[in-house]
Structure 1
Amino acid sequence: MSNNKEQIKAELEENRKKLAEKFGQTKMGSTLARRKHKNVHQTQINDDKKLKQVIKKFGVQQLGNIDEVNFFKDDNTIIHFSKPEVQAAIGSNTFAIFGNPETKKFAELMPEILNHIGPNQMGLLQELMKENQSKEKVEKIAEADPKDEDDIPVLVQGQNFEEASKKE
Structure 2
Amino acid sequence: MPDTAYYASLPRTRGAAAALLLDDLGRVLLVKPTYKEGWFLPGGVIEEGESPLAACIRECEEELGFVPRLDGLACVDWGPPREGVDAVNVFVFGGGITAEEVGGIRLPADELSDHVLVAPDKVAELAAPHIARRMAPSLRGLAEGRTVYLEDGYEPAFGPARSPGGGR
- Range into which the TM-score falls when normalised by the shorter chain: under 0.3
- Report the structure number with the largest CA radius of gyration: 1
TM-score by length of 1: 0.24
- Structure (1/2) with the larger strand percentage: 2
TM-score by length of 2: 0.24
